[in-house]
Structure 1
């Protein structure tokens, strides 16, 4: 699909035209959203074995023992509403504090091997509009932006400053209209390959936060 596009989208300091962003999404493996994202977050107040195992589709490498840990600890977790959105989680907000509490619920006392990456992938599956996926690649990509926030928020560690850096991108792409235009391109995507066309169009069902995550790669 060829068309002239004037708008651009910036994610993790990288500027792409909308056509370039669409190309990234075109290449994204079809099976990953189908098996990780589309089944949804299940019940709000608990994790199931099947849900935690689903994070392996985005390379969480969570072991069976770690699956059991997440499921056990989730029963008392301070879960947040499915409707919660990272855009509303300003650094002084109650939502940002709730994100911190939920992250720490799984991080404090976690077994060796349960890192920020594994926890963020589990939390993103459960609350995909709120928690960014902070694997090592995403963390490195956002490191410069997170470092710049240290002056304003010296009390925050790099993980929470990375949440804020991702949030800044989210707010910007929404305000500029670039994300709206990108979603239009997804919905109207055409291909001679019917399966490819459906695959790309279905990506419009992902949350804004998840689309930004894919565009970092």
Structure 2
């Protein structure tokens, strides 16, 4: 006999009930969003040293020398409006092409040690609804889904195919209404520990993309 499990969402090939998802979000370190996410993305066409340093809160391990690299390169970067959304970045869109151009502006001649993970964490801070946080864990988690996209998009490397795989999860969760329901549960979360209650409720302030990123962990 099939038992009803309630609404579910899929991230990186794993299906989670909303109860499971809430459990992950409840356990997420409360200091991380306060130090990284909630401070905002700053001016849309300006990257400051302080913003780059903030990515250390999500383990970017960016050195002081690398901070200088990012700030210097930002002056000529082809910035995208910071309200852009990955859900709108279909593979054929000008937005997806702009994502590619912005990523490669920082990656093409980057110094040793500045990898896709550091670049994606900086770009996510500036465009938190557009650029996934693509570190090694996320890349491994999405590798099967990204490989499945190789036939349809043979011209794309694994990074862009991973963006598309993450986008597929984002679009599906929105269409099913599960992200909206998850946000409702965050806003109405109750706990005897008022600090925990406040921390969980504040997670509703994160972008959809960031919520899915946390759920992969």
TM over 0.5: yes
Shift of 1:46: 1.3
CA distance in 1, matches of 2:30, 2:170: 24
Q: Specify the alignment match of 1:128 in structure 2.
A: 128
Q: Specify the alignment match of 1:209 in structure 2.
A: 209
Shift of 1:168: 0.2
**Deviation digits for residues 105-150 of structure 1, max 9, x if unmatched?**
0001110000000000000000000000000000000000000000
CA distance in 2, matches of 1:117, 1:156: 18
Q: Specify the alignment match of 1:148 in structure 2.
A: 148
Please report the TM-score for the alignment, with normalisation by the length of structure 2.
0.98
Q: How does 1:47-196 map to 2 (within 5 A)?
A: 47-196=47-196
**Deviation digits for residues 22-55 of structure 1, max 9, x if unmatched?**
0000000000000000000111111101000000
CA contact (8 A) 1:5 1:19 kept: no
SS class of match (1:152) = coil
**Cα RMSD (Å):** 0.9
CA contact (8 A) 1:90 1:96 kept: yes
CA distance in 1, matches of 2:55, 2:127: 13
Moved runs in structure 1, 4+ residues, more than 2 A?
none
SS class of match (1:10) = strand
Shift of 1:82: 1.3
SS class of match (2:9) = strand
Shift of 1:156: 0.1
CA distance in 1, matches of 2:10, 2:161: 18
Q: Which ranges in structure 2 are unaligned for 5 or more consecutive residues?
A: none
Shift of 1:5: 6.3
Q: How many residues align?
A: 214
